[in-house]
Amino acid sequence: MLDTLALMFDDFEVATDNLLEVHQSLTSQNYLLFGNTYGTKAYLNYAPIHIDVKNIRGKPYLFVHFSMPKLADKPHNTYGLTKAEAHQAFIHLRELLESCGIYVNFDTAKVTRLDTALNIDANYQLEAYIPIFGMMRDSRLVKQQTGNTTRWQNKQREFCVYDKRQELADSGLAPDLFDDVPDNTLRFETRQLKHSNVQDDLRIKTPGDVLACYDDLDAIASRVWQQRLFYVNPKDTAQSELITVMALIEASKQTNTKQWSNQSMVLLGLYHLAGLTDA
């Protein structure tokens, strides 16, 4: 499913009666932002979107950041949108921008960030999977464990796994708004943080491309996870392999040897080798 998007517009106009807040500096250079307005930046938080105008290398650009489910008036971002709903959300985005006095050309817009998510109804609590996530590595990503969130990241992309129901509870959202989210819902998020990575990993450049491949986004997200970290479908890892993997780890712990963790890795390797050779 599609979650967060950020769009960059180089073809836009701002009305004189716009709602943007302009920040001007008294000590450094101010740049042309729109019309005859100069400043260091202009911005607006206009729920559910965030707007920035910046001058980059002498040219003004408009950036719009938003969550697609929230733009479609869903109570939280576990709701996947249909392609028709996503198309309507883009129409609503245009309407919101115009209500702020901003007029954009969607045809030339670029997608500078795109987050996809897989919500998996797992058989066990998240804690049971953390040893498995600890085995996942990518030489170009830094792995971090913060509470119950496992994250692999660099400046270009980020992958994370966490308990979505617990995250919603911690956010202060009224419990009745996420009663339909099952316990042990694992949230696998892929965050492409630059336009070049959105293009390279997802083959998406524009909002039109998002809609063109919309029905394939889940498959594309799974492929990116497999290529970068899991080398198998994350859903398969969370479901079918867990019992075997956890049994191997637990069996190694029961040996009471100091090297039980290394032993479990050896057993896990043998298990995968046996699967590859049909042993």
Which tens digits make up the pLDDT trace of 191-202?
Answer: 999 999 999 989
Task: Return contacts of 222-230, CB within 8 angstroms, 24+ apart.
Answer: 222/118, 224/190, 225/118, 225/159, 225/188, 225/190, 228/138, 228/141, 228/152, 228/157, 228/159, 229/136, 229/137, 229/138, 229/141, 229/152, 229/159, 230/136
Task: Tell me what pLDDT residue 264 has.
Answer: 52
CB 204 within 8 A of CB 198: yes
Q: Are 94 and 103 in contact (CB under 8 A)?
A: no
Instruction: Supply the pLDDT for residue 249.
Output: 52
Is it the case that residue 97 has pLDDT exceeding 80?
yes
- Give the Cα separation of 78 and 3 in Å (integer): 8
> How high is the pLDDT of residue 100?
97
The pLDDT value recorded for residue 271 is: 45
Hey, is 147 helix, strand or coil?
Answer: coil
Percent of the chain clearing pLDDT 90 (strictly above): 60
pLDDT at 130 (0 to 100):
77
For the cut 90, the answer to whether the pLDDT of residue 118 exceeds it is no
- Of the two residues 51 and 239, the one the predictor is more confident about is 51
Portion of the chain with pLDDT greater than 70, in percent: 82
DSSP readout, 42-54?
Answer: EEEEETTEEEEEE
Q: What is the pTM of this model?
A: 0.81
Average pLDDT (49-57) is 97
Confidence of residue 59 (pLDDT cuts 50, 70, 90): very high
Question: Is residue 100 within 8 Å of residue 121, measured between CB atoms?
Answer: no
Tokens of 133: 């996530």
User: Residue 213's pLDDT band (boundaries 50, 70, 90)?
Assistant: very high
pLDDT score at 246:
52
Q: Give residue 267's pLDDT.
A: 47
Alpha helix positions (H), the chain: 68-71, 83-99, 130-133, 164-170, 195-202, 207-212, 217-225, 234-239, 242-253, 260-276
For helices 242-253 and 260-276, the axis angle rounded to 10 degrees is: 150
pLDDT tens per residue across span 1-16: 999 999 999 999 999 9
Stretch 200-211: mean pLDDT, rounded?
94
Assess whether pLDDT exceeds 60 at residue 179: yes
